[in-house]
């Protein structure tokens, strides 16, 4: 069946219109875009006709804050994770309370959603990524948070030094396949124009270079660092179109990320999401270097109480782990920082 592409009347996302169809509903903003039948144009049902639906309305022209927050638990499967939906809820809370992201500018994808377009399937995650960067303007701050399974698969283009692409695993990855880092880079990074800022927070296994950004901050335990050049030998540019893209990830490409449990109560979270939120809540979020060091320090000392040594546990941390501790025994993962350009991690202020 032939397909026609039309722009959504609400968020301008390109939509596929099946042959003969007179309207199509956007999976991102819920707008219904009508197409008049040949010879029967009806101005009252033109491109501006919008029906109530899920998701935020089209944001204002400039200075927008938008986020996609995705948590996948893979319930009732052999891949089940306990903490990912908690991660998504807490990250949404952090964005709203600490960084003033409007509630209606955050798309939340998880299995608890009643709206089928907010279930974290491969299609819905792709559409949400497209919505995040659609029409971005100078002054925009964009956030993409993902908590779920990550994996690797063979790279055939020759642009990965280890021969492996990093991937995210949507809820339906066993039937629909994974989302590869090259696609994430194309969707979220490559088209970012000057003045637009994107932060990605990837709490998943093998996530060090999940956005395929050109530079990785290789930091030792003393906090000393160098920027590794990860630009592909093919010469393909994996950076932005003048914007800024920075990613915190749960671990290196060859490591796994932990799904941890509180000891005092049955509450779970991804270790990376916990450590990131804790760094912000404890006032350690001044620079990218201070955040990365704080995250790594917390993971290295996972046997200690989350309330020790860093002041009172705040309401958000209480919400996250209900005053418990990370699973003892130590986590063998080190959060990573990647970016489109190298910078001084201890001088550059962190802001969303």
132 and 16 together in one domain? no
Q: Distance from first CA to last CA of the chain, Å, rounded?
A: 44
> What per-residue confidence (pLDDT) applies to 347?
98
- With both helix axes pointing from N to C terminus, report the angle between 271-281 and 84-98 in degrees, rounded to the nearest 10: 20
40 and 73 together in one domain? no
The whole domain housing 9 covers 3-45
- The rounded distance, in Å, linking the Cα atoms of 278 and 167 is 26
DSSP 44: G
Give the domain CATH number at 244.
Answer: 3.40.50.12660
26 and 117 together in one domain? no
Q: Catalytic residue at 149?
A: yes
The torsion of the CA quartet 108, 109, 113, 118, rounded to 10 degrees, works out to 100
What are the per-10-residue average pLDDT scores of the chain (352 residues)?
64 66 69 63 35 46 82 90 90 96 94 93 94 92 94 68 79 92 92 96 80 92 93 87 93 52 42 91 96 90 45 41 35 82 97 94
Domain count, the chain: 2
36 and 70 together in one domain? no
25 and 110 together in one domain? no
- 220 within a domain of the structure (yes/no): yes
126 and 267 together in one domain? yes
Active-site residue, selected from the candidate residues 34, 145, 149, 206: 149
23 and 145 together in one domain? no
| Token representation of residue 306 | 């989350």
- Phi–psi pair at 80, nearest 5 degrees: -60, 135
Active-site residue, selected from the candidate residues 8, 29, 205, 275: 205
33 and 124 together in one domain? no
103 and 12 together in one domain? no
Question: What pTM value is reported for the model?
Answer: 0.75
> What per-residue confidence (pLDDT) applies to 31?
74
- Phi–psi pair at 197, nearest 5 degrees: -120, 130
- 124 within a domain of the structure (yes/no): yes
């Amino acid at each position: 069946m032939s397909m026609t592409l039309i722009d959504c009347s609400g968020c301008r996302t390109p939509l596929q219109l099946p042959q003969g169809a007179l309207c199509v509903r956007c999976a991102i903003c819920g707008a219904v875009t009508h197409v008049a039948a040949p010879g029967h144009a009806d101005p009252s049902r033109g491109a501006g006709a919008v029906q109530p639906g899920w998701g935020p309305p089209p944001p204002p022209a400039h200075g927008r804050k938008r986020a996609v927050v995705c948590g996948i638990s893979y319930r009732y499967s052999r891949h089940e994770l306990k903490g990912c939906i908690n991660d998504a809820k807490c990250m949404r809370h952090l964005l709203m309370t600490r960084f003033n992201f409007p509630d209606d500018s955050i798309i939340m994808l998880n299995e608890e959603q009643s709206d089928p377009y907010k279930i974290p399937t491969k299609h819905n995650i792709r559409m949400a990524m497209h919505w995040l960067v659609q029409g971005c303007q100078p002054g925009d701050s964009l956030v993409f948070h993902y908590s779920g399974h990550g994996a690797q698969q063979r790279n055939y283009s020759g642009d990965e030094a280890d021969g492996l692409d990093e991937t995210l695993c949507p809820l339906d990855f066993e039937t629909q396949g994974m989302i590869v880092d090259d696609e994430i880079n194309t969707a979220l990074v490559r088209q970012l124009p000057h003045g637009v800022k994107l932060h990605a927070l990837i709490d998943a296994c093998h996530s060090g270079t999940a956005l395929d950004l050109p530079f990785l901050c290789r930091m030792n335990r003393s906090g000393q660092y160098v920027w590794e050049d990860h630009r592909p030998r093919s010469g393909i540019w994996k950076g932005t179109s003048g914007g800024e893209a920075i990613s915190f990830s749960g671990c290196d490409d060859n490591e796994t990320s932990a799904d941890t449990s509180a000891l005092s109560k049955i509450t779970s979270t991804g270790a990376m999401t916990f450590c990131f939120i804790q760094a912000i809540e404890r006032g350690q979020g001044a620079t990218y270097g201070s955040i990365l060091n704080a995250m790594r320090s917390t993971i290295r000392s996972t046997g200690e109480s989350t309330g020790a040594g860093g002041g009172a546990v705040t309401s958000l941390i209480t919400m996250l782990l209900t005053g418990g501790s990370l699973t003892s025994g130590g986590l063998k993962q080190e959060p990573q920082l990647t970016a489109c350009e190298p910078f001084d991690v201890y001088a550059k202020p962190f802001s969303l």
